[in-house]
Amino acid sequence: MEILVDLYTDFLLSSTSQVSATMLSKVLDNNISHDKFTRLLSSGIVSSRYLWQTAKPLCKEIASDFACLILDDSVEPKPYSECNSLISYHFDHTVGKSVKGVNFLTALFYSKEVSVPVGVEFIIKDESYIKEGKTKYKSSVSKNELYRGLIATASEQLRFRYILNDSWFCNAENMEFIHRETQSYFVMAMKDNRRVALSLEDKKAGKYISIKEAVIEGCVLSVYVEQLDFPILITKQVFKNGDGSTGTLYLCSNDLSLTYEQITTIYKKRWKVEEYHKSTKSNCSFPKSPTSSIVAQKSHFIACLLAFIKMERLKIKHNKNHFALKTLIAISGTKASMKTIEKLKSGKTKIVYKAA
Give the domain range for residue 265: 167-269
Instruction: Return the higher-pLDDT residue of 14 and 133.
Output: 14
Report the run of H or E that residue 163 belongs to, with start and end: strand 162-165
Does 352 map to a domain? Answer: no
Label residue 163 by pLDDT band (50, 70, 90): very high
Residue 228 contacts residue 175 (beta carbons within 8 Å): yes
The share of the chain scoring above pLDDT 90, in percent, equals 80
Mean pLDDT (whole number) for 315-327: 96
Does 207 map to a domain? Answer: yes
> pLDDT tens digits for 264-312?
999 999 999 999 999 999 999 999 999 989 999 999 999 999 999 999 9
> pLDDT tens digits for 50-107?
999 999 999 999 999 999 999 999 999 998 899 999 999 998 888 888 999 999 999 9
Mean pLDDT (whole number) for 110-120: 97
pLDDT at 195: 93
Q: How many CB atoms lie within 10 A of CB 172?
A: 12
pLDDT at 218: 85
Helical spans, DSSP H, in 141-259:
143-157, 172-181, 200-205, 211-214
Q: What DSSP string describes 309-324?
A: HHHHHHHHHHT--HHH
> pLDDT tens digits for 213-270?
988 888 999 999 989 999 999 999 988 777 777 889 999 999 999 999 999 999 999 9
The pLDDT of residue 197 is above 70: yes
Does 148 map to a domain? Answer: no
Does 292 map to a domain? Answer: no
Label residue 355 by pLDDT band (50, 70, 90): low
Report the run of H or E that residue 197 belongs to, with start and end: strand 195-197
Does 89 map to a domain? Answer: no
pLDDT at 134: 83
**Spatial distance between the Cα atoms of 201 and 234, rounded to a whole number of angstroms:** 18
The pLDDT of residue 356 is above 50: no
Does 43 map to a domain? Answer: no
**Spatial distance between the Cα atoms of 191 and 231, rounded to a whole number of angstroms:** 17
The pLDDT of residue 115 is above 90: yes
Closest of 190, 208, 187, 194 to residue 248, by C-alpha: 190
Does 334 map to a domain? Answer: no
Q: Give burial (CB, 10 Å; 0-12/13-18/19+) of 229.
A: exposed
Overall domain count for the chain: 1
pLDDT at 139: 94
Label residue 179 by pLDDT band (50, 70, 90): very high
Does 222 map to a domain? Answer: yes
Residue 77 contacts residue 91 (beta carbons within 8 Å): no
pTM of the model: 0.92
The pLDDT of residue 153 is above 80: yes
Label residue 352 by pLDDT band (50, 70, 90): low
Q: 315-336: buried (b, 16+ CB within 10 Å) or exposed (e) per residue?
A: beeeeeebeebbeebeeeeeee
Residue 90 contacts residue 75 (beta carbons within 8 Å): yes
